[in-house]
Chains A and B, each alone.
Chain A
């Protein structure tokens, strides 16, 4: 006789260990789970709210400098090490994880204008107002030994910026001219000049390592190739650029921080129009840095805020500010894409999370899955007005808000005026100039 019995595979319902969660067999029949859109919408809304609840970007503040911070440099090989230079010529080496200063050096008399670390992370260079370039060992000297530079080069003029080649032992400085130096020599290998004005920033391309770009005080950005005899091309903009940063994943993009409150992303092949104009700051942008993934960029501004922009986004996705943070002079994105360091006028270095609501530390698989799901939900429902409203709202200090509104007003007025002028003039006589085209004066070959 055949006896029919229900037979189940224990693998389907028995958990492997008692610490596992109970296995719940699911039936995915859509009729059993109705209202998927409203339910997901609610989840998305909740996720958005939670994201705002957990958005606590400020991690730490490193104090110790006795003057405004003028520059910050990441260690190329160690995430926890950061070097900062101040306006009184002092250079400090910090340990971020311990949040303490490891070493203090009086590097220059006057400002420390620029710093850079060697690609191998064994030493770093500083330039200051005292017309010197100094190379320092990354490791602190032993107890009782005076901290002295490995090498000092005395220049003829003041150097305002320095950057090191990403693969070779050469570095570039800027001042009256852009000079390419060999580490072993006391005079520049070559110097580029185009016009008479001085430069305030020079940066090597991290991917195409022979390329470099500089910002001049004549409102220009000049591209160079160390293999070529002459500079490549010059773009003149309406206002001066303070700094620029190369995208380290996409070789031909760089972004420059302009005095006209905007940032401009350029494709070096097509310099006549910037690829993107990043607007939102309400005062001059002083520094900019790409994230190591090349997907985002962070900017520091004179308006006492830090803003994070998407690579292609015209407006910022995030704004960081604190009551005590003054004009932010320099900003850097950490090499693991998780933190942002900012140095400001009031002598503090601040450490921020790059993703304000991200949970730091180890995540369990379920936490990770939940985070991913929430992120995707917010992304999916980002156009819904309620979600959008919550997700994009940022608190701004009153003064800042006032400035922002004022500027918006001004911009609208200008636009209105343009439209009116166009309306009352012969059709076609006044061309429509896009926002991108507005800011470039000329491209000089």
Chain B
């Protein structure tokens, strides 16, 4: 019996556990029923009871009367209704029967229930109080730890901050901005309110803007047409600007050397074109340009910038034998130098192919006068006449043979030299002005010089003609320019005859002009300096021109600094050897080792204490010049000092350890690397940087001596407030929303602005 009762108990407990498992569905039903019962009247209740009795009487089993009698004492408590009296417990099996019959339940649950029914296991006992509390505590601790950990970043930042000012959330001292004050201000007194009302009614400014609303409105009232036109203009301009900017940006980004080279070339061409134009329209400006070019050329010639003297170039020269790119770079560098120094020649270089034609075409006002005009000068005459036949035969046949040219060149150089000498003699008579001119030109360029000489010759010949000395200078400078121009022109139109081209340079009269062709537009300026006779001597000129050009080239190549690009490693070795030899030379005659030994001996000797001599000459015996104290006395009164402890470097032959380290300084020195510093250098550098005003500016000192913590006397420092520093998640969300809204607004504003513009 006892066993059966215990079994029943277990099933009971099972049932209760199940009930708990089933999510308290029955408990929900119960209150509803009770509520309905409450609503019914007492009559109904009685009827119901009767009905129940009838039903129970119909059943075979009779309930005990005792159960019906409800006593308030035990079963009914103040707080809950005891279900004990209502009858027997509902068995799980009863419930399961209904579940199996209901169609809605799934097979799975049915299976589970059946399994439960069959299982005989008991449930685990609920955790004891200690355990549950422990779990509770652990959870609570986790929660608070997480919450508190939010402070981590703030705490770290505060610790790292260079300066903390307490109290933390101080109102900024000092004057506030007007806007802040105005924004917070409200009209309070009736008088103020009235005034504000008036102001608002008349749309008067409250915060003192520059324009009143009325004025602004009037300003806005520009006619629509006008506004439209203006806007269109602005838009166009802006678009153009933006295109241009974009283009420039794009071009700026291109790093290709080839591109840049092409670009440069283009530029140069453009410049030349412009220059040509300028020569026609505004010779003064052209002259200036020319001078500028000349200047740059001179500068280049003076400097060693693009030559083999720079550090870079030297390094490259060493590298050149290993590295092709270095060689190339060097050559490029040299090319730059060449280009810059030979600016004028560059064009002629370009036209080497058409040299023959060119020779013919180039105007030679320089040389032509000599043979004819210089009748007074036998030197010149003779030479030119010698030259003439040669040239005349050469030019038509083959003008492009370089050897001949060179010969001619040499000859011409001789002529010129001689001529110059002669000229100097002659010019001793001419005014000083001219002389200075020539001198300056000699320095500058050979071509110019020659031209000038010619002019001078001309002058000498035709002093009667209207020649102004001021003009002369310009003209002489222009000669070079014109040569340039001519060459280019001839490139374009090589068919033009010599005469035609020569002519203009010599023209001085209107008549001459009429005779000449169309290509003479620039001539009027030059014309005055040219002799009329020029036209006649056409034949002799081309050779001169030729020679002149070559002469120029020669001069330049002479002056260019030639870099030797070493291709053999022997050169470097030589350098090494050199260095070694230099070192040897420097230390020749020094015996370092013996010096060191001597030095050590000396130091040892210095370290040894000396005997103290206390003898008093003349004390107890005769004294005087030439008399020494007696040996006995000397030995008696010299105090011998104990030998010092052995030197630290006694057994180290190649080391000297100084014994005279100053201990008094050591007392002031730090003997270890203090904590925050990783090494000695750090610490030393920290100590070495002074922070005082003797070495630093006021602001620097202020910055460096800023205290870490600043507190104000009399200001209460409140604890840090969570709300100020840690935003709740919800507020963060709203914050982000705000910020995104703000962004949108801003972008919209920007759009509007653009449109307005």
CB atoms of A372 and B706 under 8 A apart = yes
Q: Is B133 an interface residue (CB 8 A)?
A: yes
CB atoms of B690 and A293 under 8 A apart = no
Residue of B nearest to A374 (CB): B705
**Chain B residues, CB < 8 A from A166:** 719
Residue of B nearest to A363 (CB): B713
CB atoms of B720 and A251 under 8 A apart = yes
Residue of A nearest to B148 (CB): A252
The 0/1 profile, CB within 8 Å of A marked 1, for residues 653-697 of chain B is 000000000000001111100100000000100111011111111
CB atoms of B720 and A249 under 8 A apart = yes
CB atoms of A43 and B148 under 8 A apart = no
Bound state CA distance, A357 and B686, in angstroms?
26
Q: Count of chain B residues with Cβ under 8 Å from any Cβ of A?
A: 55
Q: Is B151 an interface residue (CB 8 A)?
A: yes
Q: Is A156 an interface residue (CB 8 A)?
A: no
Q: Is B752 an interface residue (CB 8 A)?
A: no
CB atoms of B141 and A233 under 8 A apart = yes
Q: Is B555 an interface residue (CB 8 A)?
A: no
**Given known contacts A268-B148, A336-B711, A336-B717, is B668 in contact with A30 (CB within 8 Å)?**
no
**Chain B residues, CB < 8 A from A76:** 716
Bound state CA distance, A269 and B151, in angstroms?
12
**Chain B residues, CB < 8 A from A384:** 668-670
The 0/1 profile, CB within 8 Å of B marked 1, for residues 37-48 of chain A is 101110100000
Q: Is chain A's binding surface mostly helix, strand, loop or mixed?
A: loop
Q: Which of A339-355 contact B (CB under 8 A)?
A: none
**Given known contacts A43-B692, A208-B722, is B715 in contact with A229 (CB within 8 Å)?**
no
Q: Is B19 an interface residue (CB 8 A)?
A: no
Q: Is A16 an interface residue (CB 8 A)?
A: no
Question: Which listed residue (B696, B704, B713, B719) contacts A206, Cβ 8 A?
Answer: B719
CB atoms of A233 and B707 under 8 A apart = no
**Chain B residues, CB < 8 A from A77:** 716
CB atoms of B140 and A225 under 8 A apart = yes
Question: Which listed residue (A28, A250, A361, A372) contacts B695, Cβ 8 A?
Answer: A28
CB atoms of A383 and B670 under 8 A apart = yes
Q: Is A217 an interface residue (CB 8 A)?
A: no
CB atoms of A229 and B140 under 8 A apart = yes
B208 to chain A, nearest CB (A): 32
Q: Is A360 an interface residue (CB 8 A)?
A: yes
Residue of A nearest to B144 (CB): A225
CB atoms of B670 and A385 under 8 A apart = yes
**Chain B residues, CB < 8 A from A79:** 714, 716
CB atoms of A380 and B720 under 8 A apart = no
Q: Count of chain A residues with Cβ under 8 Å from any Cβ of B?
A: 55
A16 to chain B, nearest CB (A): 16
CB atoms of B715 and A336 under 8 A apart = yes
**Given known contacts A228-B140, A384-B669, is B720 in contact with A338 (CB within 8 Å)?**
no
Bound state CA distance, A205 and B148, in angstroms?
11
Q: Is B393 an interface residue (CB 8 A)?
A: no
Bound state CA distance, A79 and B716, in angstroms?
7
CB atoms of A373 and B691 under 8 A apart = yes
CB atoms of A445 and B719 under 8 A apart = no
**Given known contacts A225-B140, A372-B705, A445-B138, is B711 in contact with A37 (CB within 8 Å)?**
no
Bound state CA distance, A166 and B711, in angstroms?
22
B162 to chain A, nearest CB (A): 12
Residue of A nearest to B671 (CB): A385
**Given known contacts A28-B696, A376-B704, is B717 in contact with A40 (CB within 8 Å)?**
no
The 0/1 profile, CB within 8 Å of B marked 1, for residues 352-385 of chain A is 0000000011000000010011011100110111
CB atoms of B687 and A37 under 8 A apart = yes
Q: Which of B478-529 contact A (CB under 8 A)?
A: none
CB atoms of A208 and B141 under 8 A apart = no
Bound state CA distance, A168 and B145, in angstroms?
22
Residue of B nearest to A268 (CB): B148
**Chain A residues, CB < 8 A from B274:** none
**Chain A residues, CB < 8 A from B674:** 383
CB atoms of B147 and A292 under 8 A apart = no
CB atoms of B719 and A249 under 8 A apart = yes
**Chain B residues, CB < 8 A from A39:** 690, 692, 694
**Chain A residues, CB < 8 A from B669:** 384-385
CB atoms of A385 and B667 under 8 A apart = yes
Residue of A nearest to B704 (CB): A376
CB atoms of A335 and B148 under 8 A apart = no
Q: Is A11 an interface residue (CB 8 A)?
A: no
B379 to chain A, nearest CB (A): 52
B419 to chain A, nearest CB (A): 47
Q: Is A337 an interface residue (CB 8 A)?
A: yes
Q: Which of A205-235 contact B (CB under 8 A)?
A: 206-208, 211, 223, 225, 228-233
**Chain B residues, CB < 8 A from A295:** 709
CB atoms of A36 and B695 under 8 A apart = yes
**Given known contacts A43-B692, A225-B140, is B717 in contact with A292 (CB within 8 Å)?**
yes
CB atoms of A293 and B717 under 8 A apart = yes
Question: Which listed residue (B148, B711, B718) contacts A269, Cβ 8 A?
Answer: B148
Q: Is A157 an interface residue (CB 8 A)?
A: no
Bound state CA distance, A384 and B671, in angstroms?
9
Bound state CA distance, A292 and B148, in angstroms?
19
**Given known contacts A36-B690, A36-B695, A37-B688, is B141 in contact with A445 (CB within 8 Å)?**
yes
Q: Is B243 an interface residue (CB 8 A)?
A: no
The 0/1 profile, CB within 8 Å of A marked 1, for residues 706-745 of chain B is 1101011111111111100000000000000000000000
Q: Is B186 an interface residue (CB 8 A)?
A: no
Question: Which listed residue (A33, A230, A335, A373) contacts B716, Cβ 8 A?
Answer: A335
**Given known contacts A40-B692, A372-B705, is B717 in contact with A335 (CB within 8 Å)?**
yes
CB atoms of B695 and A30 under 8 A apart = yes
CB atoms of B694 and A268 under 8 A apart = no
**Given known contacts A33-B695, A232-B137, A445-B137, is B151 in contact with A337 (CB within 8 Å)?**
no
A229 to chain B, nearest CB (A): 6
CB atoms of B713 and A41 under 8 A apart = no
Q: Which of B122-151 contact A (CB under 8 A)?
A: 133-134, 136-138, 140-141, 143-145, 147-149, 151
Q: Is A414 an interface residue (CB 8 A)?
A: no
Q: Is B155 an interface residue (CB 8 A)?
A: yes
Q: Is B158 an interface residue (CB 8 A)?
A: yes
Q: Which of B265-298 contact A (CB under 8 A)?
A: none
Q: Is B638 an interface residue (CB 8 A)?
A: no
Question: Which listed residue (A233, A248, A361, A375) contacts B137, Cβ 8 A?
Answer: A233
**Chain B residues, CB < 8 A from A231:** 137
Bound state CA distance, A25 and B715, in angstroms?
38
Q: Is B67 an interface residue (CB 8 A)?
A: no
Q: Is B637 an interface residue (CB 8 A)?
A: no
Residue of A nearest to B147 (CB): A208
A210 to chain B, nearest CB (A): 8
**Chain A residues, CB < 8 A from B166:** 292-293, 337
A39 to chain B, nearest CB (A): 7
Bound state CA distance, A361 and B148, in angstroms?
38
Q: Is B701 an interface residue (CB 8 A)?
A: yes
CB atoms of B145 and A373 under 8 A apart = no
Bound state CA distance, A147 and B82, in angstroms?
56
CB atoms of B134 and A207 under 8 A apart = no
Would you give 9 A-B contacts (Cβ < 8 Å), ordered by A?
A: A36-B688, A79-B714, A208-B148, A230-B137, A232-B144, A251-B155, A269-B145, A336-B712, A373-B705
Q: Which residues of A contact B (CB under 8 A)?
A: 26, 28, 30, 33, 36-37, 39-41, 43, 76-77, 79, 166, 206-208, 211, 223, 225, 228-233, 248-252, 268-269, 292-293, 295, 335-338, 360-361, 369, 372-373, 375-377, 380-381, 383-386, 445
Using A230-B137, A373-B692, A380-B686 as known contacts, list a sample of 20 further A-B pairs with CB atoms less than 8 Å apart, ordered by residue number in A: A36-B688, A36-B690, A36-B694, A43-B692, A207-B721, A208-B148, A208-B722, A223-B141, A250-B158, A268-B144, A292-B166, A293-B164, A336-B712, A336-B714, A336-B715, A338-B713, A369-B701, A372-B706, A383-B683, A385-B668
Instruction: Please provide the 4 A-B residue pairs with the shortest distance between their CB atoms, ordered closest to farther.
Output: A292-B717, A206-B719, A248-B719, A228-B140
Q: Which residues of B contact A (CB under 8 A)?
A: 133-134, 136-138, 140-141, 143-145, 147-149, 151, 155, 158, 164, 166, 667-671, 674, 683, 686-688, 690-697, 701-702, 704-707, 709, 711-722
